[in-house]
Amino acid sequence: MTPPSPAGRARAAGPPRTARARTGRARGAVRPPLALTVRHGIAFSADPCASLLRLHAEAGPVAAVGPRRKPLVHLFGPDANAFVFANSGLFRWREAFDLLVPVNGETALIVSDGDDHRRRRRLVQPAFHHRRVGAYVERMAANTDAALRTWRPGRTLDAYAELRSVIRRSTVEVLFGDRLAADAEVIGRRLQVALAAVDRNFVLQMMLRQVPNPYMRRVASARAQVARRVDEEVERRLREDAAQDTAQADGEAHDDVLAMLMAARDEDGGGLTRQELQDQVISLISAGYDTTSAAMAWAVYVLATHPEAEERARREVAEVVGDRLPRAGDLPGLTFLDGVVNETLRLFPPAVLSARVPVEDFDYGGHRIPAGAMVLYSPYVTHRMPEVWPQAGRFRPERWDPSSDLHRPATPATYLPFGGGPHRCIGSTLATVEIKTMLACLLRRTRLRLVSPAVTPTSVTAMRPRGGLPVQIIG
């Protein structure tokens, strides 16, 4: 599956670049109503996804909640998404994603702005080129199949946890090579301590960041241990390069993202600094496996709850892939499976919300939104708007077939599981290729039944089934 491409089309079709020019005179500064703030706050802690749909229904396309001095301003719907993506000069990412810094590092892409971001993104982007990602399919398939071979009929297991550990291994392996992959479990466990810290509710995270405390010290120490392991690998490769005495001497012999990052040069011949390299490695692992595992769990869930779609996908995999493991060349032929992946990411986008902080006041939808506010746009709410997607709440993978009555062309403003604009997810192709490959492996080898069809989502940064996804293996 290739999701719609980013900013170009949004800019062409979207609103003009200056915020005030588009929206005319504002009625006045947004003022979060206290009653709405309290009601939404309580509902959000119980079920964030449902609470956002209610907030949109109640307040419309602009909904401010939280403290008056620094409100959280939700901008809902395709117009808002197009506006946010087209006006990237109005926003900073460092402030918006500050809470990720303890895990991702100061120079990670998601917390970089302006020229720094452009430079780093240019250096990192080639490693995620479509052609390179194709080369990883066989590793992903082999890792998945190795895990599935241990799944015996009759057994009950947590499909989310099991597949997440496959994804962790594949992510570390394709990004950073076999030596780090051998440590994938240890790296994953340490990183998990840090990731758990940024998965907590915002208020608690902000409090934890205010004063030194044992919890944040544990997070820093876990992150430092991963950073040391990454540094060792970089050192070792540099020594190998210098020695030029093995087949792996030129660095290019490592066919992974780390090799590309180490070799990357801009027009002036400059590359990533050691700090930048370390932060990119850690932030790519952490951005990569939590979100992809969440999406994978939802894909298993929707197939298990839609037997007809599951059978159709199974038949397609049997015809295209047959008895062997899937290869990159098979993926374009798996068109129904594309629809399954697209539809899973439409109904269950792991990034329920994404954030921006404006550097100056701006007007939108008749409201003045102050500099420093937390502006939030929501893939989840957009994807469930009936005026955008017919039968919005239903899993209908056939809607991705242009000949279907339900088909609607996806635009960057209407379909945005990977965000949009200059910070659009760099790993979108890797993620969708991985989910598709893993589903093909699952469908050719096993049949699953959910232990309970009642599943509640949790988290807005990597939305996943609360309590995992217990399944019974039935074949």
Q: DSSP character for 156?
A: E
The strand pairing partners of 465, in sequence order, are 457
From CA 170, how far away is CA 332, in angstroms rounded? Answer: 21
292 part of the interface to ligand HEM, by CB under 6 A: yes
Shortest Cβ 128–ligand HEM spacing (Å): 7
Place of tokens 């997070």: 219
Binders of ligand HEM among residues 114 to 173 (CB under 6 A) are 121
177 part of the interface to ligand HEM, by CB under 6 A: no
| Helix and strand element counts for the chain (H, E) | 20, 13
Q: Which stretch binds ligand HEM (CB under 6 A): 271-279, 288-296, 321-329, 382-390?
A: 288-296
Nearest residue (CB) to ligand HEM, 3 versus 71: 3
From CA 330, how far away is CA 312, in angstroms rounded? Answer: 16
351 part of the interface to ligand HEM, by CB under 6 A: yes
From CA 325, how far away is CA 444, in angstroms rounded? Answer: 9
Phi-psi region of 306 (alpha: psi -120 to 50; beta: other; left: phi over 0): beta
Q: Which stretch binds ligand HEM (CB under 6 A): 72-80, 156-164, 208-216, 286-294?
A: 286-294
184 part of the interface to ligand HEM, by CB under 6 A: no
Residues 6+ apart with CB under 8 A from 192: none
- Exposed, middle or buried by CB within 10 Å (0-12, 13-18, 19+), for 111? buried
Reading the block at residue 443, the tokens are: 């469908």
Shortest Cβ 349–ligand HEM spacing (Å): 6
287 part of the interface to ligand HEM, by CB under 6 A: yes
Contact at 8 Å (CB) between 462 and 290? yes
Nearest residue (CB) to ligand HEM, 44 versus 418: 418
Shortest Cβ 245–ligand HEM spacing (Å): 32
288 part of the interface to ligand HEM, by CB under 6 A: yes
14 part of the interface to ligand HEM, by CB under 6 A: no
Query: Binding string to ligand HEM for residues 418 to 447, with x set by CB under 6 A, is what?
Result: xxxx-xxxxx--xx----------------
Binders of ligand HEM among residues 63 to 92 (CB under 6 A) are none
Rg (CA), the chain: 22
Does the annotation list 49 as a binding residue? no
Query: What residue number has its CB nearest to ligand HEM?
Result: 427
From CA 196, how far away is CA 223, in angstroms rounded? Answer: 12
Q: Which residues bind ligand HEM (CB under 6 A)?
A: 109-110, 121, 283-284, 287-288, 291-292, 295, 349-351, 354, 417-421, 423-427, 430-431
Annotated binding-site members for heme: 425
